[in-house]
Structure 1
Amino acid sequence: MQQLIVIEGPTASGKTALSVALAKALNTVVLSADSRQFYKELSIGTAKPGTGEMEGIAHYFIDSHPISSPVSAAQFGSEALDLIEGELASHQKLILVGGSGLFIDALCLGLDPIPTDAAIRETLRKELEEKGLEPLLLELQESDPEFYQQVDKQNPMRILRALEVIRLTNIPFTTWRKNELPKRPFEVIRFVINHPREILYERINQRVDQMMEAGLIAEVKSVSQYRNLTALQTVGYKEVFDYLDGTIDLPTCIEKIKQHTRNYAKRQLTWFKRHPEAIWLDAKPTKELSEEILQIIQQQDFVNLE
């Protein structure tokens, strides 16, 4: 059976270099599961790998879609699965790399076929803008107390998505999420890169400084007509829009990006802990980490042969 080797980790943890090293060792390709690196117009604020960083390894789902055509987790899962079963079927092993937990799960596990409704979604967005999150949280607590207990209450998109389904179907979101998922035609081996928190935070701070030097503000200006899209309501973009609007100064903007990125990294780690089968590896130089993973994969292959 084909193997999907998943390299997970919070932002700035070194996933790109590790995935390239593994792909070179295994003579395979890399699929990106980063919810913003799909978009051709976004590079600096998404830490998208450049040609040099890819080292000649074919990467899929990098610069694959225009920002005017947003990619959902379900769409990514479907497109990636089609690719694996089609063009990439001859590869015995594939590398999936990213920090967007929902997008990774969409491919590795599949997502429930949960209905959507654009009109309800737009109504909810307006309610959020006009009244804030609190009334929506109260509605969710009343209509689906189980999901209310589980959801990240600082994540408006997750809350709006649940309420969209509840209003559309009059069925709790939790019920939809418990549908049985189809089997995947590949074996999944998950690895999570784990840095000590203080080192990870320093890496994040350095990356933000590098983004600013690379021209993040100019990049944000270039996509300002799309600022209402979900991809731009994210860390690194929304703070720069605030700066461009004149509501904060530049030092505050930079500090907020660093702070919000650190907060995001904590949420990423919480998501990865949802999967007890994942193998957590202490961060090391890329070569050492790659060798450690290759050894584990080799042992797994041996077990599968028995």
Structure 2
Amino acid sequence: MAEKSVSISSRNGRVGFRMLLAAVALIGLTGCELSWTGFQKQLTGAKEILFGAVGATSSKTEPKPEPSGAEFSSPLAQKTKANAELLREILRVVYMREPSNRTEFGSLVDSLNQGASFEGLYNGFTHSSIYRKIETANPGATEQALKVFSEELMILESELPTPTVFDANAAKPLAVPVTPTADSSGVSELVFEKRGAVQPSPKPSDFIEKYSAQFAGASIFTLKRVLGDEALKVVNVKKDEKEKLAAWYSKWVVRMAEKKVDFGLELRNKLDEQFHYKWAMSSSEDQLRWEVLNRLHRVLNQANGHDSEQ
């Protein structure tokens, strides 16, 4: 199944690739000035960009690649190296497996180099026929994963003007492959409350209990997909007011860091709300989307007994 993890359908792939302009700028997370431009002259491979610019290190000990020759001499080669490292993280975190199909992986990196947007690529992965097969082949999740999912879903839904109403199919794998669009962050199996409908006002614990019952028995991959979709909705709702988005993000990130989950970079684990606020203010929505999704996927992965860095 590992090989299938990076082999998405060409149709979904083309849609996703055209939509991922700002993903590579995520690398700027490690900068003192939180700027991508300031690091371009320091590029000596993806690990230098991600971990070496200000002495940040991966939470796992990894050797740094040694640049040599023309391989690392051009901006394109450096960008390719950075995109490959970022893509590898995305695939590991989303699929919980290492990418193994080098041809498909190379095609994805090429698409990143050409300016595809991250949100489209992520939706291309999680709403593809391949992902649906993975959901079907991996039924169930641990009790802890379901608990974490229900708690995080309740928190995300509280940020939406109209919370999502999930029908009986929401806990099942995707019924059919879904091709996402530029503004699509949900899936066809989710039923949304009609505007004007009267909203109940139960306690947060009531929502958690409801979600736990409704998604009991769902695949861990289904839980990851649903939670990711809802997180994208929250970002999209807040994106028009950058200060409010940054304020929400910085508080949310610190709360997630308190869970003591390895998020892949030491700076991601900082319990410093002001640091994360400044980063969010200087970064694109696309960068911020991956930072949110990365944390949610890793938290669920760990709750289900899987280390995303393995």
- TM bucket, shorter chain: under 0.3
Q: TM-score, normalised by structure 1?
A: 0.27
Larger radius of gyration: 1
Compare the two structures and name the one with the higher strand fraction.
1
